[in-house]
Amino acid sequence: MTPPATARAKAPLGSLRALWPFVRRHRGLFLAWLLALGISSAASLSLPVAFRTMIDHGFRSGASGEVDRAFLLLFAVALVLAVATAARFFFVSLLGEKVVADLRTQLYAHLIALDAEFHDRTRSGELVSRLTTDVELIRNLVGSVMSIALRSSITAIGALVMLFVTSPRLAAWALLGIPAAVLPVVLGARRIRKVARHSQDKVAEANALASETLGAVRTVQAHAREAYERGRFAQAVAQAVGVARRRIGAQALMTGTTITLFFGAISLVLWSGAHDVIAGRMSAGTLLQFVLYAVFGGGSVAALAEVWNELQKAAGGMGRIDDLLRERPAITAPASPRALPRPLRGEIAFEHVTFHYPQHPERPALRDFSLRIAPGETVALVGPSGAGKSTVLALLLRFHDPQAGRILVDGIDIRQADPVQLREAIGLVPQAPVIFAASAQDNIRYGHLDASDAEVEQAARRAEADEFIRALPQGYATELGERGARLSGGQQQRIAIARALLKDAPVLLLDEATSALDAQSERAVQLALEHLMTGRTTLVIAHRLATVLRADRIVVMDAGQVVAEGTHAQLLAQGGLYAELAKLQFLD
Ligand SMILES: Nc1ncnc2c1ncn2[C@@H]1O[C@H](COP(=O)(O)OP(=O)(O)OP(=O)(O)O)[C@@H](O)[C@H]1O
């Protein structure tokens, strides 16, 4: 579960400053919006004056020229208002889209480049929610809230000034009346927001339930729990309706109250003004002008109160996005990286490497670990769970830097090389291969994006994958589905092997799958691996007898250290940890 987007809703508005560089990039749109905003505000503030002119002069009998002019003025103001409002909407909405697109692209590019340490401590679900929910808040902010806030502020101030210009006495009254009418609206809105949030939470709960059970539909069906899950979901949905009912009720009540209070206040002012008109102290047009300013002003204050919360929410979202953008990867290329030789010979050396994961400073995963691998040699790592085998591979890929000691590839300390160049020289076949929701062909091509179709197919043939791929409904073009749902475990492994074959890197890291395959699939995978390992320096975390037998050397690890080395026969003869492991893992 990701924390709700409201968790930091009370973030200081200062975090919105981080948004400015993104807005500044589209200066033209921003200025065009400001201009349109200025014109439309001026037009809407002159509208009441135009109405007064129309009433006071437009209806005077006899002067038909004056009538025409008064109405023409009114229409002209309305026309300017219409054009400027349309332009304002266009510019600010487009600005919102562009800012959000930039923000999203930059955030994604930043996240995908952050190091393993960051991704270990951050759930990917949370990152996705930053990219979606929080970015959506920003779209709302730039595309609408910002516009409403500025426009309402201008209108509120302008209307207030114009109220006093129109009639100081009535204005003084209105100054008391309008807040009295707006305050309950503001308070009511706050309460509705609370209920609305609760209502959204309930909907989210029902959705989470659905996504969890639909994602594990086989487990649900295998337990014959369809009826049970139906009941749970129906209950969650009913709860959401219950909460929504409260929200709707509160909203209805508030709408009624708002209308009553607002028109009550307007009627009161009108009533007092009507007496002035009858007594000849004020023209009818002036009274209308006054009322219009009061309506404009009151509406703007209410709008400001309404967007204040949105502003806070957006500030929270921007704060979270900014935190992520400020993350700096610990693993970076040095200012002037040393180039690795091309082609790489593939000599690897760990020299007195000590490393602990950031979460466990007291428990090193590797201690004073040294290992030298000659070019083209195959070394099998064996050891109990938690011995540090995967950590060896992770350090060689420079997902982390050791706290002591160094790691050399062809005699170059990998910290002096560019991580991208280093990783391009290393092929990786992980224990659980990742299959993307793309075609079989594109999944293999991930190893070398420029490979031709023929090269992809050749790699597949050498990985013993060609036959089963051709048997798929659309052959190489078949979509493999998310996480390779359409393939067996052995087939997924052969796709990963084909990918590594295509990458054709001089160093190969292999984490053998622990899950047993059927004999036929096992043979195919083994054959594919033989093709892959030929002519490369290979470091393999071994779980199979065939692999240890084929290795040039077996390195036995325990608690982050090398405890024995040799061939299978030598190590068996020595007894100790290897003999025990071999009995459990390979020889049963
Ligand atoms: N990403 C990580 N963050 C924190 N600790 C980790 C991480 N990966 C491994 N460890 C810890 O480091 C130690 C060595 O783990 P490692 O995965 O290298 O062992 P392993 O020999 O590969 O084990 P297995 O065969 O079970 O995969 C373990 O104590 C493990 O808990």
Q: What pLDDT digit, counting tens, does each position of 103-160 carry?
A: 999 999 999 999 998 998 888 778 888 888 888 889 989 988 988 999 999 999 999 9
CB of 285 closer than 6 angstroms to any ligand 1 atom = no
Query: Which of 391, 514, 563 maximizes ligand 1 atoms within 8 Å of its Cβ, making it the mutation to test the pocket?
Result: 391
CA 68 to centroid of ligand 1, rounded, Å: 86
Q: Which CATH architecture has domain 338-425+506-588?
A: 3-Layer(aba) Sandwich (3.40)
CA dist list (Å): 120 to 116, 117, 370, 381: 6, 5, 26, 24
- Distance (angstroms) between ligand 1 centre and the Cα of 360 equals 11
Residue 4 is predicted with a pLDDT of 41
CA gap 69, 548 in Å, rounded: 99
Question: What spacing in Å lies between the alpha carbon of 570 and ligand 1's midpoint?
Answer: 28
Average pLDDT rounded to a whole number, residues 218-233: 93
How far does residue 466's CA lie from ligand 1's centre (Å)?
35
| Side chain identity at residue 502, one-letter code | L
For the complex shown, is ipTM > 0.90? yes
Q: What is the reported pLDDT for 96?
A: 93
Distance 214 CA to ligand 1 centre (A): 31
What is the 393 CA–ligand 1 centroid distance (Å)? 11
Q: pTM for this one?
A: 0.78
Q: How far is the CA of 547 from the centre of ligand 1 (A)?
A: 22
Q: At a CB cut-off of 8 Å and minimum separation 6, what does 26 contact?
A: 95, 98, 99
**Using the 8-state DSSP alphabet, how is residue 272 labeled?**
H
Closest atom of ligand 1 to 431 CA is 27
- What confidence category does residue 220 fall into, taking pLDDT thresholds of 50, 70 and 90? very high
Question: Which of 151-160, 180-189, 456-465, 545-554 is predicted with the least confidence, judged by mean pLDDT?
Answer: 180-189
* pLDDT beyond 60 at 570: yes
Rounded distance between C-alpha atoms, residue 3 and residue 245, angstroms: 25
Query: Over the Cα atoms of the chain, what is R_g?
Result: 35
181 band by pLDDT with thresholds 50, 70 and 90: confident
Decide whether any atom of ligand 1 lies within 6 Å of the 120 Cβ. Answer: yes
The answer, yes or no, to whether residue 166 has pLDDT greater than 50, is: yes
- Let me know the angle formed at the C-alpha of 420 by 331 and 388, rounded to the nearest 5 degrees: 55
101: which 2 tokens? 């697109």
Calculate mean pLDDT across residues 208-224: 88
The tokens describing 407, both together, are: 């790691």
* Same-fold call for 11-166+310-329 versus 434-504: no
Residue 357, ligand 1, Cβ within 6 A: yes
Pocket test for ligand 1, best of 356, 389, 540 (most atoms within 8 A of CB): 389
Give the whole-angstrom CA distance, residue 561 versus residue 543: 19
Tokens representing residue 506 in the block: 């001089």
At 491-520, the pLDDT tens digits run 888 999 999 999 989 999 999 876 666 777
Q: Which of 357, 510, 584 to mutate to test the pocket of ligand 1 (most atoms within 8 A of CB)?
A: 357
Residue at token pair 């929610």: 129
- The tokens describing 18, both together, are 């981080």
Confidence label for 484 from pLDDT (cuts 50, 70 and 90):
low
**CB of residue 177 inside a 6 A radius of ligand 1:** no
Ligand 1 and 360: CB distance under 6 A: yes
DSSP string, 207-265: HHHHHHHHHTHHHHHHTT-HHHHHHHHHHHHHHHHHHHHHHHHHHHHHHHHHHHHHHHH
Residue to mutate, 353, 366, 385, ligand 1, most ligand atoms under 8 Å from C-beta: 385
* Centroid of ligand 1 to alpha carbon of 398 (angstroms): 15
CA angle 340, 344, 345 (to 5 degrees): 130
Please report, for the chain, how many H helices and E strands are present, in that order: 21, 10
pLDDT value for 11: 53
Alpha carbon nearest to ligand 1 atom 4, residue: 357
Atom of ligand 1 nearest to the CA of 385: 26
C-alpha dihedral, 139 to 144 to 150 to 151, nearest 10°: 170
Q: Is the dihedral of CA 365, 369, 373, 379 positive or negative?
A: negative
Q: Which of 117-121, 198-202, 582-586 has the highest mean pLDDT?
A: 117-121
Q: Is 11-166+310-329 a domain of CATH 1.20.1560.10?
A: yes
What is the 578 CA–ligand 1 centroid distance (Å)?
19
Q: Is there a contact between 444 and 378 (Cβ–Cβ < 8 Å)?
A: no
Q: Which atom of ligand 1 is nearest to the CA of 120?
A: 1
Residue 97's pLDDT is 94
Confidence band of 483 (pLDDT split at 50, 70, 90): low
Pocket lining: 2 vs ligand 1, CB cutoff 6 Å? no
- What CATH number does the domain located at 434-504 have? 3.40.50.300
**3-class SS of residue 479:** strand
Which residues make Cβ contacts (< 8 Å) with residue 226, sequence separation at least 6? 220
- What number of other Cβ atoms are within 10 A of residue 328's Cβ? 10
Q: Where in the chain are the domains?
A: 11-166+310-329, 168-281, 338-425+506-588, 434-504
- C-alpha–C-alpha distance, residues 393 and 254, integer Å: 63
Nearest to residue 370, comparing CAs of 398, 390, 348, 387? Answer: 348
Rounded Cα gap, residues 85 and 491, in angstroms:
60
User: How many angstroms separate the first and last alpha carbons of the chain?
Assistant: 42
Is the pLDDT at 99 greater than 80, yes or no? yes
Asked, as a colleague might, if the bond just before 343 is cis with ω within 30 of 0, I would say yes
Nearest CA to ligand 1 atom 17: 390
**Residue type, position 467, single letter:** E
* Least confident span in 197-201, 372-376, 524-528, 552-556: 197-201
Measure 330 CA to ligand 1 centroid, in angstroms.
20
pLDDT band at 262 (very low <50, low <70, confident <90, very high): confident
